[in-house]
Structure 1
Amino acid sequence: MTTALAAPTEPWSPVEFEARLRTVGQERYHDRHPFNVRMHEGDLSPAEIRRWIVNRFHYQRHIPVKDALITAKLDSSRLRRMWVRRIEDHDGRREGEGGIERWLRLGEAAGLDRATLQTGEAVLPGVRLAVEGYVNFCRLRPPLEAVAASLTELTAPDLMRLRIDAFESHYTWIEPSGLDYFRTRVDQGRRDSDEALALVLEWARTREEQQRAVAALTFKCDVLWALLDAVQQAGQHSDDQPSGRRGQM
């Protein structure tokens, strides 16, 4: 009779733990999704680009919401000051600033009325479910997992650079100023991911905690993938423009 070996319980070294987190992003980040691949190859129609902008905005506008939930979990002024900056990055310090405003300008540059994005009436059910799942994850899970889920930012700067090149090369009908969101996120994403990674490496001291952090990042990748699944599937059934289109390509 053989005796089953007990699962290893020693924590991974910091180097191995970081490598495992980065591997999740390399293998599961939504840059590999067929919709994003087609986007970067210049294969999307104006209707598909606009549908993506409208639905992705539903995610964008909830980023400061989930960051406010994370901020409330942090137990020191230093950490709260660090994390509240993310809210300011998206909401701005005053009207007309921030990442949400820049995304609205992207919509306008692509020929969408601002109201089309703000009302959310054209947001797909699958996108609503994915975003709600992520917000509730950050609401209900402990700080380690909520912060670890944000580590998709480890891969985001490279995606932003790729997206800028793709839009400048293939979607010249979009006004160049509309790409300011992507340009800003290159540096912001690198800063944010460095800060979040340092926290996760510090907080996850046991193998179980490390595994929960990896699972949280995997979950976030699934959220982003599900969002694109919904957008892609909608495009297979209709090539109509989202309501509120103005102008031509």
Structure 2
Amino acid sequence: MSTATLDGTVSGEREPWTADELTERLRAVSAERYHDRHPFNVRMHEGDLSPGELRRWIANRFHYQRHIPVKDALILAKFDDPGLRRGWLRRIRDHDGERPGDGGIERWLRLGEAAGLGRDELTDASRTLPGVRLAVEGYVNFCRLRPALDAVAASLTELSAPDLMRTRIAAFEKHYPWIDTDGLAYFRGRVEQGGRDGREALGLVRAWARTREQQERAVAALAFKCDVLWALLDAVDRGPAGAGTKE
């Protein structure tokens, strides 16, 4: 049983980490578990994917891309502060666009077209691999059901996104010249957006996670998100040839 001590602390409670210690632990999760280490991503960046494998990834990853503004809307709905809502709304606009033909989802569709995929092949969810659907639904439900701290902490994979995007752009330009470089606009845009979004989310987590329990929840949430991205690639890597496309 916890009891109050003379200095105002409560015996039996663990000391919280400092904000910098929390940041260090969060960055360690990304360094150890981010999906840049997944064998499929490694093969992609080394130029070892066949055109069919690359198209399978583009088609199935779109199922995740199209749900990014959905999970962000669920997170936004948890905020009581109008300023926070306005700031987070920018993420939805980044993906849905300000107008038709704009935004990250549109740029991913153009990536698919540059790789030889029709838009119907990307937008037809019935072609999505079951493992990809489960991973994406798991993440969306996490953002729907968990507190704002957990949902925002899960988004901290954005901290690692800029470096991954730079690596991916260089790999595509070097190893997959059959994909028109205009199709890489999504990756280029995420270099700046990912860094900005990651810094913003980290600031919120540092401010909100004051107790050790909250801090450990934040670390666990980021680990969960890394697992989601890893599971998605597992499904794509092991999927049958042509899964998600008409091939």
Correspondence 1:126 to 2:149? no
CA drift of 1:242 comes to 4.6
Matched, 1:232 2:237: yes
Match of 1:3 in 2: none
The SS at the match of 1:155 is: helix
| Cα distance between partner residues in 2 of 1:123 and 1:228 | 13
Residue matched to 1:188: 193
1:95 maps to what in 2? Answer: 100
AA in 2 matched with 1:170: H
- State the alpha-carbon separation in 2 of the partners of residues 119 and 215 from structure 1: 33
Match of 1:164 among 164, 169, 172: 169
Residue-by-residue CA offset, 1:124-147 (whole Å, 9 max, x unaligned): 000000000000000000000000
SS of structure 2 residue aligned to 1:187:
helix
User: In 2, Cα distance between the equivalents of 1:239 and 1:71?
Assistant: 38
1:96-130 deviation line (CA, Å, top 9, x unaligned): 00000000000000000011101122210000000
The answer for the alignment partner of 2:17 in structure 1 is 12
| One of 196, 209, 214 as aligned partner of 2:214 | 209
For the residue of structure 2 that corresponds to 1:121, the secondary structure is helix
Q: Identity over the aligned pairs, expressed in percent?
A: 71
> Where in structure 2 are there 5+ consecutive unaligned residues?
1-10
Amino acid at match of 2:90: R
Are positions 1:75 and 2:80 aligned together? yes
Match of residue 38, structure 2, among 18, 33, 38: 33
Structure 1 unaligned regions, length at least 5: 1-5
Q: Distance in 1 between matches of 2:231 and 2:111?
A: 22
Code of the residue aligned with 1:13 in structure 2: it is T
Structure 1 runs, 4 residues or longer, greater than 3 Å off: 238-245
Shift of 1:92: 0.2
Report the Cα offset of residue 8 of structure 1. 6.6
| TM-score of the superposed pair, with normalisation by structure 1 | 0.93
Q: What value does the CA root-mean-square deviation take over the aligned residues? A: 1.3
Displacement of 1:38 after TM fit? 0.2
Under a length normalisation based on structure 2, what TM-score does the superposition of the two structures give? 0.94
Determine the structure 2 residue equivalent to 1:66.
71
Matched, 1:109 2:111: no
- CA distance in 1 between partners of 2:25 and 2:13 (Å): 16
Structure 1 residue 7 displacement after superposition:
7.6
Query: How many equivalent pairs are there?
Result: 237
